[in-house]
Structure formats: structure tokens, C-alpha cells
Structure 1
Amino acid sequence: MSLHTDPLEQEDQDAIVLDARSGDLESLKEIFSTLIHPKLIPTCQDAETHVTPLHMAAANGHVEVVKYLLEMVKENAPEQLTSFVNRQNDTGNTALHWASLNGNLEVVKVLCGDFESDPFIKNAFGHDSFFEAENNGREELEDFLLKKYDIAPADKESQDSKVGVKEGTEIEQVTREAELAAQQKEHEKNGETETLAPDVKNLDIRNSN
């Protein structure tokens, strides 16, 4: 039976993104060996947030899923590999941003190794992957990035500007709230008094287990 190669329905894309989120490698392997051609992996994303399966796997530390997705794209759609690795979601975060923020060192090693993910890409808030690692106390991961890219450690940000990530906290929620706080401070500095309400619709990147 030939594999499906036409554009995927959003329902199918969502199922693939969720399998990556939960780390269901066997399900992904079955899908891309019996149902859907692996060249369609780069086309899968959440319609609203533009989050890809790679974002989800990287954020949740599913290193084997990360490897599988990247190898499949490399073998079946090599011309899309670089853009897939560095794909940004609706707030400009790459899979590497999320892996760095959550301290998933083994994932970062894969992304920055053979697949050359770009740690200098900045999200919508001006943060690169170095910043996310440092700002969230991921010292081992930060050291890895600094050594790999031969960069001297920058002066530490003031403690007031740091954003803590607690167990169960969603990455986009933390990032959005940090940006809103910065915007609010800037408004107050300029004599403006309007209140910036946080976005109440946040992407769940955590496992439910």
C-alpha cells in the first residue's frame, strides 16, 4: 500500500503533534511507515500556534522522538531539514528555545550536533537559546552552548529580570507573562497606566502523566 503524500488534514497534523508531545515513538513510526509519507513531517503543525512535532518532543525531553523526526526529514525531505530544525512558532520560539528553557541537555546536543540548530535565533521577545538557558538556571546546558559556540559568558542578568520555571508551568505562559511584565514596566516608566492582561489561551506542552 502506498503512503499518503497529499497535504494532511489538520486533524491528522494535530494527532502527530500530540504523539510527539507524549513521546509516543512507536505510534509515530507506525504512522510514517504504514500511513503517511515521512516527507510530510515538516508540514505538520498546530494551526493556531504553529508548534511542530519537533517543538513538542524537544520541550518535553523526548530525545528519541527528536532523533527520529530529524532523521526522517533528513532522509525524505533533506531540502527542508534546516528550516524544519529552526522553525519558529507564533511567538518566535524554536525547538531549541524550548529545550534550552526546560534544561533538556540531551535534546540540545542532538539539535546542535548533526542537525545544526541555530542558538542565535531570537524569539518575539528578543531571547535567544543562550538567554533561555541562563535565565532559567540551566547551568549545565548553558555551559554546553557557550563552549560549543566558543562564547565567553555574558554578564549575568539582574535577579529581578529572571523568570522562574516551576514544575508544570507551560513555556509559552512563562514567556508571555515575562514579556507582559516588561511591557508594563516600560509603560509605567513612560507615565502610562494601562494594564496589560496576560493571554489566557496557553499551549499545553507538558505531559498529562
Structure 2
Amino acid sequence: MTPNISEDEIDDLIYFARTGEVDELNSLNETICQRESISSLEFLDLVKDENSGNGVLHMAAANGHDKILLDLCKALSNPSPQTPAMLAIINSQNKAGNTPLHWAALNGHLESVKVLLDNGADPTRTNQRGHDAVYEAELNDKKEVVEWVLKEGGEGLEEGVVGETGEGRADESADEDMQTDETDGVKDEELLKRIGEQLGHLGIQDADPKT
């Protein structure tokens, strides 16, 4: 029988992950898993925004809620860590091809980046623009993330960053679905207006991680 998770429940779960409401997220997670007789892995595979493709992990990563990421990864690791099914969830891509690691790196959330990499996130996975997570971090001047990932990731990742030309980066909007939760990267109001117009033109629901 197909699990029955309502749109309202999915909206609530995405919201709790975005705002960092750990207790509420865990409580609803447990309720749904028990009611539908599904595992945490099946639960996370099902709970996604239908317009953007963002899941709970995406929204927690975008806002640096590493406690939520730790709890979810621990649940996914039961009974065995880094199984193919678990890795598929950790590296799940939204409709723009971005993984939770892309979002954590783009927004400069180093602790969230560490949690994801420790649990099997693939730093070489690229989005639809052909950018991996560390390159998105570099484009957005998240130097701490770039330096740590390159140090931990090795020479192959460094070559990938150095080899990029930055073509297609004429504006500062990054991928259309990736909105940062910080304001220091916003140069002026005109940039925000342009991003909004692009989102509206593309018919993509704003997945802004800001609370």
C-alpha cells in the first residue's frame, strides 16, 4: 500500500526543517512513520516539495541546522550506515540538480557540510549548471567551506575548482532555486528584483530558506 502523507504534512515538515524546529519535526516524523509503517529512509524519500523537489535534508542544510541533519543521518544509518539507499537520499537532487551539500556549501554552513560529507555526501556531484558544491561555495565567497572541503577532499576537487571558467555566471543569482539565508551577499535591491522576476518567469516556487 502506498503511504498516505498529505500535502499539509509535507508542507509542515519542510517548514520545520527550514526553521530548525527539531522537536516538531521529529514528532511529526515519528507519527507518520508509525502510522504508515514506513522507515525513516522511505519517509525522507517521499517528503519533497512537488514544485522545487526540495526535501527535508535540503532545507535543513540550506539553513545550517546541523542538529537536524545529524538526527536524520543517524536515523538513516539504522541498521547499517551508508547503504546505497541511504546514499541516494543524502545525495538526492532537486529539480535544479542541487543536493543538500550544494545548499550547505553555498550558504557557508561548514558544520552542515561536515555532517553531510561524514555521512556519504558526494562532493563531486554536479547540478544542472555543471557546478559541484565547492564551486558554488567559491562563487559565493564562502572561503571557510572551500578551504576545508579542498583540504579534506584532495587534489581532484581542487583541480575541479581551478579548472572552472565561471561562464554562465553573469549575474549573482546562482541557481534559480538556491536562495541564501544571509543578506551580506546581496549587493542591492535591483539584484533582488531581478532574481524575483527570473523565478516568476520560470514558474518556480520560491524556496527561500529564510524564516
* Number of residue pairs matched by the alignment: 179
Q: Return 5+ residue gaps in structure 1 as ranges.
A: 176-196
| 1:56 lines up with 2:56 in the alignment | no
| 1:136 lines up with 2:140 in the alignment | yes
From 21, 34, 44, give the equivalent of 1:41.
44
One-letter identity of the residue aligned with 2:12: A
Question: 1:156, CA displacement in angstroms?
Answer: 7.5
CA distance in 1, matches of 2:77, 2:67: 15
| 1:122 lines up with 2:114 in the alignment | no
- Contact kept, 8 Å, 2:179 with 2:208, in 1: the verdict is no
CA distance in 1, matches of 2:134, 2:84: 27
CA distance in 2, matches of 1:27, 1:125: 35
Give the structure-1-normalised TM-score: 0.74
Question: What are the residue-to-residue correspondences of 1:59-78 with 2, within 5 Å?
Answer: 59-75=62-78
- Report the RMSD for the aligned CA atoms in angstroms: 3.0
Percent identity, aligned pairs only, is 28
Question: 1:98, CA displacement in angstroms?
Answer: 0.6
Local SS of the residue matching 1:16: helix
Cα-to-partner distance string for 1:113-134 (whole Å, 9 max, x where unaligned)? 1x11011111111111121011
Local SS of the residue matching 1:27: helix
Q: 1:91 to 1:170 in 2, by over 3 A?
A: closer
Question: What are the residue-to-residue correspondences of 1:35-184 with 2, within 5 Å?
Answer: 35-37=32-34, 38-39=40-41, 40-75=43-78, 80-113=85-118, 115-151=119-155, 152=158, 154=162, 157=165, 161=169, 164=172, 172=177
Larger-Rg structure: 1
One-letter identity of the residue aligned with 1:92: G
One-letter identity of the residue aligned with 1:70: C
Cα-to-partner distance string for 1:26-66 (whole Å, 9 max, x where unaligned)? 10121233443434122110011110000000001111011
Q: Which structure is richer in relative contact order (CA contacts within 8 A, separation 6 or more)?
A: 2
